[in-house]
Structure 1
Amino acid sequence: MSFLFKRNPRTPQELIKNLNESIEKIDLSNDNHRKYQDECSKYLKQIKIILHGDDEIEPQPDQITLLAQEIYQTDCLYYLTKYLSNLDFDSRKDVAILFSTLLRRKISNKSPTVDYLISKNEILILLMKNQEVQEIGLICGSILRDCIKFEIINDFILNNKYFWNYFNYVQNEIFEIATDSFTTLHDLLTIHKKLVSEFLADNYDYFTKNINKLIQSKNYVTKRQSIRLLSEIVLTRSNQFFLNKYFDDTINLKLIMMLLSDKSKNLQIEGFHIFKFFIAKPKKSQKILDILIKNKDNFIEFFEKFDLSSFNDSNSIDEKDYILNEIKKLPDIERL
């Protein structure tokens, strides 16, 4: 593509100006839409050469600086995001590369693109909203996951009302959209541990309500991904406040008990990895103890038959034996 760059020499400022103009001219219902799509594709490839070079041209720091400044000043990233569905497939991928490259750009200890996205947070909201759009959902998910590597952006998204849409996105009937959305949801709740700990503490009731709905889904993949995400949250020590409340909640215990009785052995295993914490918790609430004692005999019968040998996981087998012994130590139910 270097020949294209040489035949059409443009300054970074001209490139961005022309790109913005072409983006806004694309109308998919108009016969000329292909012409403007091609122009956008051409400009995006030329921008990529400025940022990364090619076989003949090396990236020039001063040109990259001019390009980035023009992108921020003209809100180019906003227009690219707003009209992303109007671009062709290759151009959408080039937009994702542009975001990723600019996000990695640093000046001293600052990330100017991160600062820009926080100030122009409509872009982040568009990326969240578009996660469920079939044509661009996967690209938006990829861009957003690059963004949330930065804690300040992760914080903005967690505390935005559109974050809760992800609990619907992961149930999208289009498998690829649902899976990609779950990847984004997972990253939002696991990368920045201190931030997530505070979020879970502040939003315990609403988060638990939403994750429990997913665990009760009729969709096997949704159920298994949800319980795995919950397991990862439970295993994160910084989430102590959340853990204390979660394992004192009888609704949660009853839900996990249902997983133990699921016909799927895999879901039984996932349920076990949560259930063991209800048993191992040193100071159990009286309501939790009452349920455990009431079901003591059933638990003993279940775990004596609960075969984990086929999973070749010696740790799980040891944990099962420990949990069984702890259950046997529970008081017997008082019978009149």
Structure 2
Amino acid sequence: MAFLFKRNPKTPFELIKTLNDSLLKLDYNDKKIQDDCTRYLKQLRIILHGEDDIEPQQDQIYNISQEIFQQDCLYHLIINLLKLDFDSRKDVFIIFSVLLRRNKEQQNQPPPPIVNYLLNSQPEILLILLRGPETHEIGIISGQILRECIKYETINKFILYNSLFWNFFNYVQIPIFELATDAMMTLNDLLTIHRKQVSEFLNDNYDKFVTTINNLIDSENYVTKRQSVKLLNDLNSSRANSKFINKYYDDTVNLKKTMRLLSENSKNLQLEGFHILKFFMANPKRSQKINDLLIKNKINFLIFLKNFDVESFHDPTLTDEKDFVLQEIERLPDRKE
């Protein structure tokens, strides 16, 4: 691999120092510095990840990784991400990915050093990544790096309990479709990968979370509305979230939101609303306030269910679920005038 360093730094220390020095000088209008950063990043990526017939060597990975952390190279890369060209940004993602995946395939191994580095030495990196969707040019790559980071439970917890987490409920409504979609992917991963941890978070933040996601479900944007209700259904389907679920299905505000979904013109939104409704009906401990609201709207539910064409979704389980919900609604006493 010596050919990589011809006319370039020869040791891991020199390579990282030279890369950092170039990043500090990086300017949109200085092509030479841009080219230098591109070249050094490519060298670093090949050492860590390999390329074509070049296999990465474990001793070289270890040595270069040590220098990356000691010289805060990742921090310099992230704060200059916007100034790097497209290919260099991809190299930054690969570098993060390789460092995050060290030890990942081996059982009973501690998290790789980058996890401790991000949480204890340079948490600012995570905070910068969390703000990524605010800048169009680096929003996608920031999201990709962040999703690699949150595969680790400790990093996921750091983000969930940081105030910047709540910004993602705004980012998913960004008018730029690609950015909004990427932000929703990150939000979904944050709330679904580490189930036990998320359960604790939802218990600690029930009121704020439900209010926030209900606001998304009220969005005029179809994609935002549908993705938000799908996320909610996923959370409500997880047994780990039992305390959250009990609160959710004892809240008449949530039942009213469900009724609005059933009245949508979109069949897909009606289906998502139906999935929520079936859990209201399957709850063996329905409170009186929930029963009162169901009774009040019994006729409307019956009309919806009799016209709800489940066969168009090509899911045989829906027919049985519809029959169950219909029977439960019919068992409700008629509304007293």
Residue 158 (structure 2) pairs with residue 156 (structure 1): yes
- Measure, in 1, the Cα distance between the counterparts of 2:8 and 2:18: 12
The whole-number CA distance in structure 2 between the counterparts of 1:63 and 1:4 is: 13
For residues 57 and 217 of structure 1, the distance between their equivalents in structure 2, rounded to whole angstroms, comes to: 50
- Which residue of structure 2 aligns with residue 68 of structure 1? 65
Q: How does 1:275-290 map to 2 (within 5 A)?
A: 275-290=277-292
Q: Give aligned pairs, total.
A: 332
Which piece of structure 1 moves more, 113-122 or 136-145? Answer: 113-122
Q: Does 1:17 align with 2:17?
A: yes
Alignment equivalent of 1:242, drawn from 236, 241, 244: 244
Q: In structure 2, how many angstroms separate the alpha carbons of the residues matched to 1:9 and 1:133?
A: 33
Are 1:50 and 2:47 counterparts? yes
Q: 2:219, 2:225 within 8 Å by CA — same for their partners in 1?
A: yes
Tell me what 2:216 maps to: 214
Match of 2:26 in 1: 26
The answer as to 2:80 corresponding to 1:109 is no
Letter in 1 for 2:232: L
Identity rate, percent: 61
1:251 equivalenced with 2:256 (yes/no): no
- TM superposition shift of 1:25: 0.6
In structure 2, C-alpha distance between the alignment counterparts of 1:24 and 1:9, rounded to whole Å:
17
Aligned twin of 1:59: 56
Contact 1:16 1:71 in 2 (8 A): yes
What residue number does 1:174 align with? 176
Letter in 2 for 1:128: L
SS at 1:171 equivalent: coil
Q: Is the 8 A contact 1:260 1:271 kept in 2?
A: yes
CA offsets per residue over residues 238-278 of structure 1, 9 Å max, x none? 00011000011111100110010011111111111111111
Rate the CA distance shift 1:299–1:58 in 2: closer, same or farther, 3 A. Answer: closer
SS at match of 1:189: helix
RMSD value over aligned CA atoms?
Answer: 1.5
- The answer to whether the Cα contact below 8 Å between 2:19 and 2:37 also exists between their aligned partners in 1 is yes
Residue 37 of structure 1 corresponds to 34
Per-residue deviation at 1:310? 1.3
Partner of 1:97: 94
CA distance in 2, matches of 1:127, 1:51: 22
Q: Stretches of 4+ moved more than 4 A in 1?
A: 1-4
> Are the equivalent residues in 1 in contact too, given 2:27–2:34 (CA < 8 A)?
no
The structural deviation recorded for 1:56 is 5.5
Is the 2:157–2:197 contact (alpha carbons within 8 Å) kept by the matching residues of 1? yes
Unpaired runs of 5+ in structure 2? none
Structure 1, unmatched stretches of 5+, are none
Question: Could you tell me whether the CA contact under 8 Å between 2:93 and 2:141 is conserved in 1?
Answer: yes
Q: TM-score, normalised by structure 1?
A: 0.95
2-structure distance, mates of 1:297, 1:286: 18
Q: How far has the Cα of 1:110 moved from its partner?
A: 3.7
Aligned to 1:333, the other structure's residue is in SS state coil
Report the Cα distance in structure 1 between the residues aligned to 2:225 and 2:51, rounded to whole angstroms: 46
Q: Deviations over 1:39-83 (max 9, x none)?
A: 111001111121133455442322211111111111111111111
CA-to-partner distance for each residue in 1:217-243, whole Å, 9 max, x for gaps?
000000000000001001000000110
Work out whether 1:267 is the aligned partner of 2:269.
Answer: yes
Q: Could you say which residue in structure 1 is the equivalent of 2:197? A: 195
8 Å Cα contact 2:49/2:94 also seen in 1: no
For the residues of structure 2 that align with 1:322 and 1:170, how far apart are their CA atoms?
Answer: 35
Contact 2:9–2:18 (CA under 8 A) maintained in structure 1: no
Query: Match of 2:317, SS?
Result: helix
In 2 relative to 1, CA 301–79 (structure 1 residues): closer, same or farther, beyond 3 Å?
A: same
Deviations 1:100-149 (A, max 9, x none): 00011239534111111111211000000112311000000000000000
Q: Write the distance in 2 (CA, Å) between the matches of 1:309 and 1:206.
A: 37
